[in-house]
Structure 1
Amino acid sequence: MIETSLLVIFLAGLLGGGHCVGMCGGIVAALTFNLPAGKNRYVMLLGFNLGRLTSYVLIGALLGGLAGATLLRAQPLQFALYLLANVMIIAIGLYLAGLSAFVTRIERLGQPIWRRLQPLVRRLLPIRHAGQAVLAGAVWGWVPCGLVYSAGISALASGHALDGALIMLCFGLGTLPNLLAMGLFADALRERLQRQAVRTAAGLAVSILGAVQLARLLF
């Protein structure tokens, strides 16, 4: 079950670029403001995303480990969590396609935590060296996001810290191309990914991934 979901989670992160730009565009703009041009800019961008992926892996390990130490490791509960994770992926796709705003309600659940973490990012600005970039990226990894939540539910369902970490790593690697490009070509990328035709196509593709995975679990 986990092996199948890794590809789905990766592709959901990759195809969810429009959502990533909408959710993280402002954060990327703030972090990359006044960054030097040339080689150092690439190093900083890699630092931001290294920190973000580290937080995702940590979240996955914590969730998988928590499930493994509790009744959530029971197979019926794991199965229910996998179903919920794929329903979330379908909901994300419908949101990207402009057909449902349900996901935005779920993302509000994480706002209290994010409000407490935002001051940490402000203290690190302006970013002057790679260490600051990694730390800022690590905080960025906790931003409320429906895509992260859906991957996190899969990590919880895995029932193992290592499997949970691997699931979140695959998700993070899927988001990496869009968010690296966002830091380099912010305006052009935002314009392209926010076009309705692109959002609709990507959203329907994400929903289909979730639906196929859901069907494989049920039948």
Structure 2
Amino acid sequence: MEKLDLLSIFIIALNMSLSHCIWMCGGIVIAYSNGKIHQNSNGFYQIFCHTLYNLGRITSYMIIGGISASIGYGIAVSTGTKGFLFIAIGILLILFAFLYMFFPKAIAYIEPSLSRNSKNKLSEWFQISFKWLMTSKNLWSFYGLGILNGFLPCGMVYFFALSAALAPNVLMGMATMGAFGIATFLPMFILGFVSGKFITSSCRSFFMKLSFILMLCFGGYSIYKGILMFEGKSMHSMQHHQKKSSEEIIIMNHPKHSEDMQ
């Protein structure tokens, strides 16, 4: 994964954060802002609290990125399988882009319910952890809330985790998800100080459409890179075959070989 890929991840994440994160995860930010930070607190304290929360999210994302990259690296044992991985993930990214834009309710089916009425173990654990962190007076509980939020089932995180699976190593996988986390930092940080109404419905629609186009481009680019890997493998095999044939001709024409034949 090149620097251009990381820049693409950052731009896509920044647009998606303005159309998705604020609306889907904004409730947690508003909840801890109203419940844990007193209105009379000084500006430095508030900034520190919101920074800890967002650093917690980025920490979780980087861990997810490292795990995804490890899985992708384990699958891509050869150039051929790596090319197949790029093409497969590229197709999934494009599919996700269409779901994100036209069938947002479909994404809900791959995001386990964490509502209070849900009876699954993940939901119960989340509710207990969230309640404990929200009532904690410890300053580092903001960091814990961020980590908790980072591991929440989210279609957007799935998208970038798939992208991280294409990274050449674990560090680049972590960097991929780190770029995603940094891109969402500013919108979520600002949300901690305001109600979130600064993003109107028309603005959200614009960023959703822009995100859709960028997601399609990134998915298409992944498919293109996979095809190039397949072509590179075929070209390498052809060159190897031609080199082997040339060596055989040279051996056949070598004087010592001719004498041995006689």
Give, in angstroms, the shift of residue 110 of structure 1: 8.3
> Which position in structure 2 is the counterpart of 1:8?
8
Give, in angstroms, the shift of residue 25 of structure 1: 1.6
- Asked whether the 8 Å contact 1:83–1:214 carries over to 2, the reply is yes
Closer/same/farther in 2, CA of residues 25 and 58 from structure 1, 3 Å limit: same
SS of residue in 2 equivalent to 1:107: coil
Give, in angstroms, the shift of residue 60 of structure 1: 0.6
Spell out the pairing of 1:207-218 with structure 2 (5 A cutoff): 207-218=212-223
2:105 matched to 1:101?
yes
SS of residue in 1 equivalent to 2:188: helix
> Which position in structure 2 is the counterpart of 1:176?
185
Closer/same/farther in 2, CA of residues 28 and 216 from structure 1, 3 Å limit: same
Distance 2:65 2:131 in 1: 26
Question: How high is the TM-score relative to the length of structure 1?
Answer: 0.84
> Which position in structure 1 is the counterpart of 2:22?
21
Distance 1:183 1:139 in 2: 17
Q: Which amino acid aligns with 2:66?
A: A
- Asked whether the 8 Å contact 1:48–1:133 carries over to 2, the reply is yes
SS of residue in 2 equivalent to 1:184: coil
Structure number with the higher helix fraction is 1
Closer/same/farther in 2, CA of residues 207 and 146 from structure 1, 3 Å limit: same
SS of residue in 1 equivalent to 2:37: coil
Closer/same/farther in 2, CA of residues 196 and 132 from structure 1, 3 Å limit: closer
Distance 1:110 1:160 in 2: 32
Q: Any gaps of 5 or more consecutive residues in structure 1? A: none
Q: Which amino acid aligns with 2:12?
A: A
Which of 79, 83, 88 pairs up with 1:80? 88
- Asked whether the 8 Å contact 1:79–1:157 carries over to 2, the reply is no
Spell out the pairing of 1:67-216 with structure 2 (5 A cutoff): 67-68=72-73, 70-72=74-76, 74-75=81-82, 76-92=84-100, 94=101, 100-108=104-112, 113-185=122-194, 187=195, 189=196, 191-193=197-199, 195-216=200-221
Q: Which string of whole-angstrom CA distances, capped at 9 and with x for unpartnered residues, describes residues 137-174 of structure 1?
A: 11111112111110011112325211110110000011
SS of residue in 1 equivalent to 2:151: coil
Q: Which string of whole-angstrom CA distances, capped at 9 and with x for unpartnered residues, describes residues 26-51 of structure 1?
A: 11122222403222111111111111
Give, in angstroms, the shift of residue 7 of structure 1: 2.0
- Asked whether the 8 Å contact 2:114–2:126 carries over to 1, the reply is no
Q: Which string of whole-angstrom CA distances, capped at 9 and with x for unpartnered residues, describes residues 159-190 of structure 1?
A: 521111011000001111110011111x2x2x
Distance 1:101 1:143 in 2: 17
Distance 2:97 2:114 in 1: 18
Q: Identity over aligned residues, as a percent?
A: 24
Closer/same/farther in 2, CA of residues 30 and 133 from structure 1, 3 Å limit: same
Closer/same/farther in 2, CA of residues 100 and 131 from structure 1, 3 Å limit: closer
Give the RMSD, CA atoms, in angstroms: 2.4
Closer/same/farther in 2, CA of residues 116 and 86 from structure 1, 3 Å limit: farther
Closer/same/farther in 2, CA of residues 57 and 114 from structure 1, 3 Å limit: farther
Higher Rg: 2
- Asked whether the 8 Å contact 2:65–2:174 carries over to 1, the reply is yes
Distance 2:176 2:97 in 1: 14
Question: How high is the TM-score relative to the length of structure 2?
Answer: 0.71
Give, in angstroms, the shift of residue 126 of structure 1: 2.5
Give, in angstroms, the shift of residue 120 of structure 1: 1.4
Distance 2:183 2:26 in 1: 17
SS of residue in 2 equivalent to 1:58: helix
